[in-house]
Structure 1
Amino acid sequence: MKSKVTKAVFPVAGLGTRFLPATKSIPKEIMTLVDRPLIQYAIDEARAAGIKEFIFVTSRGKGALEDYFDHAPELENSLRRAGKDHLLEVLKTTNMDSGAIAYVRQHKALGLGHAVWCARRLIGNEPFAVILPDDVIAAEKPCLQQMVEAYAETGGNMVAAMEVPPEKASSYGVLDVREDMGSLVSVRGMVEKPKAEEAPSNLAVIGRYILNPKVLNNLNRMRSGAGGEIQLTDAIAEEIEESDNVYGFRFRGQRFDCGSKAGFLQATVAFGLARDDLRDELSEFLQEMAAVQNAAE
């Protein structure tokens, strides 16, 4: 019987230099997409997939991230006195039970593989998910939930995948596909950040993974890969050679790269337009902006 996936690792140790000066004083993960921080989208997606234990791999200066998930008694009392029950309900979604979240420190930025390895003692000998909060996915059924349902059939290791233009392959880990079964593909190999002409496919790995604990043993070897970093894709690729149990999963939904400014802005517009309380005003504004731009041209 396949074990249920109940633990998720959130690598949030990065400095967020692409968003300076904002990230000088606040962690990138609590930058706001419409009215929720990026990390809240990741946590909500994990909860929907049945995750019960949340492991954050952090670094110095991330205290605000830890405080965000704590209770705020003064704020809650103030809202209660003012009769703002709807806002109290909103706050409830940000509170985590005592002991549900654990924090481990990554003292040196040695790559995503190293960040996951830092959480090895908390993961133990169970399958686990990895969620990169920079990748925000708008989907009717949350992406990780889709993956957990597919994983119940396959077991092994699973990575979220999406088609990218060939010229962008060098920004991603890319799958070498053995067999394409539609939403699932079985994987023959994985190449981290290949040159466009050397990419084995245009199916790129994005920030959602369900992994077997054996991947942690592979990370123990501390081998550097692309960019001199310890790459998670390399440790997963070893599992292909040893156990032949790695799958790519084409999720249903739209992914936004909120690690880039353009991606963050695109996500803000898309999520704003998806909201009943914002759609009309925002849509009208965007049409006016487009009209002004067209007139200027």
Structure 2
Amino acid sequence: MKVKSAVFPVAGFGTRLLPATKAIPKEMVTLIDKPLIQYGVEEALNGGIERIIFVTGRTKKSMEDHFDRDPNLETALAEAGKEELLKEVRKISDMCDVVYVRQKEPRGLGHAVLCAKDIVGREPFAVILPDDIILARKSVIGEMTREFDKVKAPVISIMQVPIADTHKYGIVKVEQQIDERLYRLGYMVEKPKANPPSDLAIIGRYILTPEIMDELETTAAGAGNEIQLTDAIHAVAEKSGVYGYRFEGQRFDCGNKHGLIEATVHFALSREDTKDAMMNLMSVLCRTR
């Protein structure tokens, strides 16, 4: 079955970016000229996704407004003759069908995904964590969808990390390497304190099957006393198999200040309209330090 929907868990507080996130959702923090959430949505749409499902909280109204029409702004831009900007803001609101569902209490990533169960139905679906921004030539979720079409089983994105950092991630054990980028996975563990099964970490892109929702309904609280998505994926892996896709691109954790700064530099250097300014700035900084 075609992967049509992408679930975005966006109900968190964003404490790692305080004080900026005291007044605005972390997903609305800007990376150059777009909020973080828009990068994830564009990746989903470029990968063939047709419907966006936001699992939100009570402080996320500005994010909802971002993907809605703003008649006053559009009128002002039209009257000022700013046609390119008008086209850009209309494109945002016309991007896709958006559905909103509330996560009424913070019970973890697994619970946030479960909140979308009735909307997703019995179809495969994607999950995208908007903190994880990926700079790549192709849509990573689109590449994962193509792998899903081959294996007909859940596919999760993975990348190599230093062993010293494995306690920060969900870590997988590889059973078999299928090709250059695809692996059949064994068990996986969320934030191992010692003896990680590998140096391959789960990153915030998933193609999942309805069986995940069944597992989440009975998954007990795990690491951090939260319902962990990794635990449910592990249960599915034991029963029917799960695959890992080692994506091609650079991943930035924009849920923290260092990751956001790093992403800003790399994305600015990758864009024709900002590359020269960033190169000039870096040149000045190198001469003055």
One-letter amino acid matched to 1:183: R
Stretch moving more, 118-127 or 278-287: 278-287
Pick aligned residue for 1:83 from 81, 84, 97? 81
CA distance in 1, matches of 2:54, 2:196: 32
Shift of 1:96: 3.7
Stretch moving more, 35-44 or 20-29: 20-29
Contact 2:219 / 2:231 at 8 angstroms: preserved in 1?
no
Shift of 1:90: 1.4
Contact 2:133 / 2:252 at 8 angstroms: preserved in 1?
yes
Alignment RMSD, CA only? 1.2
| 1:183 partnered with 2:190 | no
| 1:151 partnered with 2:148 | yes
Stretch moving more, 254-263 or 75-84: 75-84
CA distance in 1, matches of 2:5, 2:59: 24
CA distance in 1, matches of 2:235, 2:139: 28
Pick aligned residue for 1:65 from 42, 63, 66? 63
Q: Hey, what does 1:276 align to over in structure 2?
A: 272
CA distance in 2, matches of 1:12, 1:156: 25
One-letter amino acid matched to 1:66: E
Shift of 1:92: 2.6
Pick aligned residue for 1:260 from 256, 259, 267? 256
CA distance in 2, matches of 1:84, 1:160: 40
CA distance in 1, matches of 2:270, 2:189: 35
Shift of 1:22: 1.1
Residue-by-residue CA offset, 1:237-288 (whole Å, 9 max, x unaligned): 1011111x20000111110110111000000111111121221121111122
Residue-by-residue CA offset, 1:179-214 (whole Å, 9 max, x unaligned): 12320000011111012x411110100000000101
CA distance in 1, matches of 2:214, 2:6: 18
One-letter amino acid matched to 2:136: A
Q: Hey, what does 2:41 align to over in structure 1?
A: 43
Residue-by-residue CA offset, 1:108-151 (whole Å, 9 max, x unaligned): 11110000011111111000000000000000001111111111
- Structure 1: gaps of 5 or more residues: none
One-letter amino acid matched to 1:242: K
Shift of 1:69: 0.4
- Structure 2: gaps of 5 or more residues: none
1:13 is paired with a residue whose SS is: coil
Q: Hey, what does 1:288 align to over in structure 2?
A: 284
Pick aligned residue for 2:237 from 231, 236, 240? 240
Q: Percent identity?
A: 48
| 1:109 partnered with 2:106 | yes
1:93 is paired with a residue whose SS is: helix
Shift of 1:97: 6.6
CA distance in 1, matches of 2:95, 2:196: 44
CA distance in 2, matches of 1:235, 1:265: 33
Stretch moving more, 86-95 or 113-122: 86-95
CA distance in 1, matches of 2:242, 2:58: 34
Q: Hey, what does 1:118 align to over in structure 2?
A: 115
Q: Hey, what does 1:8 align to over in structure 2?
A: 6
User: What TM-score, normalized to structure 1?
Assistant: 0.94
1:148 is paired with a residue whose SS is: helix
Residue-by-residue CA offset, 1:35-72 (whole Å, 9 max, x unaligned): 00001101100101111111111111111111110011
Q: Hey, what does 1:209 align to over in structure 2?
A: 206
Pick aligned residue for 1:131 from 109, 128, 132? 128
Count matched residues.
Answer: 288
Contact 2:110 / 2:229 at 8 angstroms: preserved in 1?
yes
2:92 is paired with a residue whose SS is: coil
One-letter amino acid matched to 2:222: G
| 1:227 partnered with 2:224 | yes
